[in-house]
A and B are shown apart, each in its own frame.
Chain A
Amino acid sequence: MLRAFRPYRLFIFFLLFCTLPKASQAQTQHTFSGLVRGADGLALPGASVAVPTLNLGTATEADGHFSLSLPEGPQQVVVSFVGYTSQTLAVNLRHNQQHTFTLAAANAELAEVVVQGQQTLKEKLQSTQMGVEHLTIREAKLLPALFGEVDILKTLQLKPGVQSGGEGSSGLFVRGGSADQNLVLVDNVLVYNPNHLFGLFSVFNSDAVQSVDLYKAGFPAQFGGRLSSVVDVKLREGDREKFVTTGGIGLISSRLSFEGPIQKGKGSFIVSGRRTYFDIFTRALNRANAGKEDYSPIPDYYFYDFNAKANYTLGEKDQLFFTGYLGRDIFGFTSPNGFQANFTWGNTLGALRWQHVFSPRLTVNTAASVTSYKYNLGNSIDQFSFDLGSTIRDYTLRTDFDYVPNTRHNVKFGALLTYHDFGVGRLQRSSQDNSVNFGADVSYTGQEGAVYATDNIKVTDKLQAELGLRATGFQSAPNHFGGLEPRASARYSLSDNIALKGSYALMYQYVHLVSNSGASLPTDIWYPSRLSVKPERSQQVSSGASFLLGGGKFLLTDEVYYKWASNQIDFRDGAQIFANNDLDSQFLFGRGWAYGNELYLEKKTGKTTGWIGYTLAWTKRNFPPQLGTTGINNGHDFYPNYDRRHNLNIVVLHELNPRISLTASFVYTSGAPTTLPFGRFALQDIYQGGIQAVPVYPDRNSYRMIPYHRLDLGLVYKLRPSRISGQRDLTFSIYNAYNRRNAYFIYFEQTRDKATDKVTGYRAQQVSLFPLIPSVTYNFKF
């Protein structure tokens, strides 16, 4: 499995060469570093720190820190950030120097509610990174949302190259990848199942999130372990100056956050909680209908989650960070006859990170984390009980170095080690009198490791490249695998307003999702690479051009990509995936490939902002005959159900006045592929008593449903702040504003004569999920 990839030798040589001090750099360089934060003490990630006269600049890291290598002498440093007043500082560099910038909000009222973190379009143009979407919670909070539940993952679905799993779903299908091929990170900790409520909502509470970066291509070498995307979510830090309470009351859930300083100037904390209350209504309905004939009680369902984050400054060079998350979905049912069923699932994660600044040029972050996902399904009747569950738990140690040797290089390198504990399937059926007692417990362990190095090199004023290499390994005794993952991206500036970009990335995925539903279900099982289940592997090349238009107000980007993947996993028909100690025999393996073009026009400044994205794409899979089966689709190519030929997204945000913001988003996609039965036959079965019509499905996903389109409208109205209630706003949303009947699925049924109830024929029915849905959410902060 370990492949000798010749280019890596060249890369290592290049890396070493680049990091050596250069004789040609005669002028003395000094490091100017520090922190950019808002007036409330919160770090501002993504703020621009630039020296315009030298055409040099950088963006602050997630914790607000920056580092620039500048020539000795007087320099004008300009710090800017959308929503804040820019600052200019005159420095006379004679030695390494540090400075903390505190930016005032440009519009105090707006900035209190809004947390921004946007790259400017100019910086995006100049970045070597392509295929990346940066999204702030500001945009997500302003945009209309289903049931008023702000969801940053659903907002990502409005970006080009990203498909949702279906109506209302928060699933992400990025450039032809499946939902389990996304590396979803919260403050660098993996989240195995980022969904609540069977995929309708994500696990991210909007009050706790600061921003998210979605990488679709050119993956930086510090990321690995999944094939198709990186969803890098950063949680917000608490206010370092004062105690603040934030919350919201919505149609189906409420949320509350509390934040403040730990020791003024030393650190801060934030804790956030959220809970749905759908179950309160259903319980009341059940009580009202108790005892009625033919009334079937509605099961209880709710979810909750808690987020916590804290930071503490140990000294000038050391800081500690803590991130925690606990989320559970709970589904319970008790029948009047005494039958009970309970189903719980959710993620738990925690991480402790230590940041140490060796020097203004070298910083290290070392973190220990644990993440787990589990579900448990149990029911009981009299003395008999049934219990089914699965767990995955990871313990990870990682260290990441950031080294800026000179103005031409920015080197990142690091390593991580993860211990995986796979509780693939646990099933127990038992009775108190021991007349029934059997079960299964299938579990594995695995160790995954990676080392990486990457250098962002300014080759010339026009050419900038990022070259990286990641070496990964995985073992689940007695099997072990490994591979080299080269990463490269480059930007060439044709002019100040035009840049050409290209990238290549190879990815391995050693941990696989076992789910044959084609949808996000809580019964997800994660499975290690083993002798018969080889690591999934993908490669992607992409290239594109970016144009800064309208005097820098608009950025037009066009990217083409081609991705090919091997060892893709699916399941044989009727696969038994629960508590099966021979799960390997249920898998089928195949190839996949995806290609397309993404056109993206965005505007980030002014009273009207937004974007238009258009994607033309193809995604295909092939699973040839194998293991005594005919493969999938008889070995012919087929489109997975998230393949969409055309996808148009238009998002507009308009600030009507300081108190009213209007938003609209429009989505158009080609019809989703689906599998319909072409034929049917009659089956009597062993006994007489009704003849079943059995559907015959000759092909997979060969039928396209009607195109999907939808318009959502939103309005945020800021109420006048008062001493008692603090700042407040009302957020109105209209989902599916023109009440489009989009196809969720199609099925066939018999038609019957109303008078005689005799079968008259067969017809196709289209089912839609959500019509026009208005909602209002009350948000507050004091």
Chain B
Amino acid sequence: MFLVVSMRRKVLIGFGLLGVLAGCKKLQNDANVVLPTYPNQLVAECYLESGVVPRLSITESVPYLDNGQAIAAGSQILTLPNGQTIQLPTDVTVSLTLPGGQPMPLRFSPGIDASTGKYYTHIGTRAITATAGQQFGLDAQDKRGRHLTGTAITPTFIPIDSVKYKFNGLTGDNKKAYFMTKWTDPGATIDFYRLMLHKGKPANNSETDNDIRDKLFNGQSYAQVTTYRFRPGDTVTATLYHVDSLYFDFRQSVRNARNANGNPFAQPSAIHSTVQGGLGVFSVLVSDKRTVILK
């Protein structure tokens, strides 16, 4: 679907270019848009991993065209090195509920995780242990009456069976390889996956990032194949996450919402948060990794 929409956009742009040749004037202009009042909401982003101290960020959503003017009492602006600003509420109390039912308070201590480079606002007191099927809870409450909650269940571990790459028959800059990641889907359950391929150190700007459901290959072996995009000497890491349906829906809705901003043919989607009382995601990550150096 995205390919079709993208093609339509390319063709229209092509015809638009014909128009530019004729009209000799810009087809894109500033628009004076006055948006209705938008009440800020709490936003949680929390990915738990077994053996890791839990860290999460609690931020606020803001009016889209706000450039820091709409800051409320109890919140502060965090300016990132690239100039981007994030609104942080400083009056939020957060606690996790562990699988046995015992609470783990997370203290407000904004910082950067040295291992991932990610920002966080709250941090736990010790590493957690998560085994398949265990449930965690999240509770975040500020002094302005906003209350965000969520639960997440630990998925089962699905191993990568194999990875494979193959170069095309070209030489020089055109010599590129496709990369294939293969795993086996369990037949008894409806399963969702996220497969990321990174070159070098894993970061968000992954080479490929696919959300996959097992509807068409339930209980079978499945292989995800890229286009020819990797060069000789690349270090490629494949990370396969076995995720739950809530996380999958959240990712899909974020993707649809982002695609709709700037694409007149896409239907905008509301954000399907995995939490209640605000926006965001609360999930337990279980993954398998394979790293290969392409020769």
User: Which of under 10, 10 to 19, 20 to 34, or 35 or more describes the interface residues of A?
Assistant: 35 or more
Q: Known: A677-B257, A677-B261, A764-B65. Contact between A337 and B33, CB under 8 A?
A: no
| Contact B84–A689 (Cβ < 8 Å) | no
How far in angstroms is the closest Cβ of chain A from B224? 9
Any B CB within 8 A of the CB of A295:
no
Pick from B45, B117, B176, B266: contact of A337, CB under 8 Å: B176
| Contact B65–A765 (Cβ < 8 Å) | no
CA distance A435 to B182 in the complex (A): 9
B279, closest chain A residue (CB): A681
How far in angstroms is the closest Cβ of chain A from B252? 4
| Contact A748–B65 (Cβ < 8 Å) | yes
- Chain A residues lying within 8 Å of B291, measured Cβ to Cβ, are none
| Contact B43–A299 (Cβ < 8 Å) | no
| Contact A756–B83 (Cβ < 8 Å) | yes
Q: Which of A341, A676, A700 has the most CB of B within 10 A?
A: A676
How far in angstroms is the closest Cβ of chain B from A777? 15
| Contact B64–A677 (Cβ < 8 Å) | yes
Which residues from 25 to 69 on chain B have a C-beta closer than 8 Å to any C-beta of chain A?
A: 25, 27-33, 35-36, 38, 40-41, 43, 45, 47, 57, 59-67
Any A CB within 8 A of the CB of B216:
yes
CA distance A562 to B202 in the complex (A): 59
- Chain B residues lying within 8 Å of A675, measured Cβ to Cβ, are 260, 268
| Contact B11–A197 (Cβ < 8 Å) | yes
Q: Could you give, for residues 1-21 of chain B, a 1 whenever the CB lies within 8 Å of some chain A CB and a 0 otherwise?
A: 101110110111011101110
Any B CB within 8 A of the CB of A298:
yes
The stretch that binds B, out of A114-122, A317-325, A514-522, A610-618, is A514-522
Pick from B22, B60, B252: contact of A771, CB under 8 Å: B22
| Contact B279–A758 (Cβ < 8 Å) | no
| Contact A766–B29 (Cβ < 8 Å) | yes
| Contact A578–B1 (Cβ < 8 Å) | yes
Any B CB within 8 A of the CB of A384:
yes
| Contact A771–B254 (Cβ < 8 Å) | no
How far in angstroms is the closest Cβ of chain A from B108? 18
B194, closest chain A residue (CB): A686
How far in angstroms is the closest Cβ of chain A from B102? 27
Q: Could you give, for residues 198-227 of chain B, a 1 whenever the CB lies within 8 Å of some chain A CB and a 0 otherwise?
A: 000011111000000001110011110101
| Contact A573–B36 (Cβ < 8 Å) | no
Q: Known: A523-B4, A691-B84. Contact between A697 and B257, CB under 8 A?
A: yes
How many A-B pairs have beta carbons closer than 8 Å: the answer is 292
- Chain B residues lying within 8 Å of A17, measured Cβ to Cβ, are none
Pick from A335, A429, A581, A695: contact of B268, CB under 8 Å: A695
What are the 7 A-B residue pairs with the smallest beta carbon separation, nearest first?
A771-B23, A758-B83, A688-B117, A689-B203, A689-B204, A745-B264, A759-B83
Chain A to chain B contacts (Cβ below 8 Å), 27 pairs: A301-B11, A377-B4, A381-B228, A384-B178, A384-B225, A438-B222, A517-B5, A574-B249, A574-B256, A676-B33, A677-B64, A681-B279, A682-B86, A687-B116, A687-B203, A695-B268, A697-B257, A747-B262, A753-B83, A764-B30, A764-B31, A765-B28, A768-B27, A771-B19, A771-B27, A773-B22, A773-B23
Residues of B within 8 A of A (CB): 1, 3-5, 7-8, 10-12, 14-16, 18-20, 22-25, 27-33, 35-36, 38, 40-41, 43, 45, 47, 57, 59-67, 80, 82-86, 113, 116-119, 166, 168, 170, 173-174, 176, 178, 180, 182, 196, 202-206, 215-217, 220-223, 225, 227-228, 249, 252-254, 256-258, 260-272, 279-280, 285
Residues of A within 8 A of B (CB): 147, 166, 168, 197-198, 200, 278, 282, 293, 298-299, 301, 331, 335-339, 341, 343, 377, 381-382, 384, 427, 429, 431, 435-436, 438-440, 516-519, 521-523, 571, 573-574, 576-581, 630, 675-698, 700, 702-703, 706, 736, 739, 741, 743-750, 752-753, 756-774
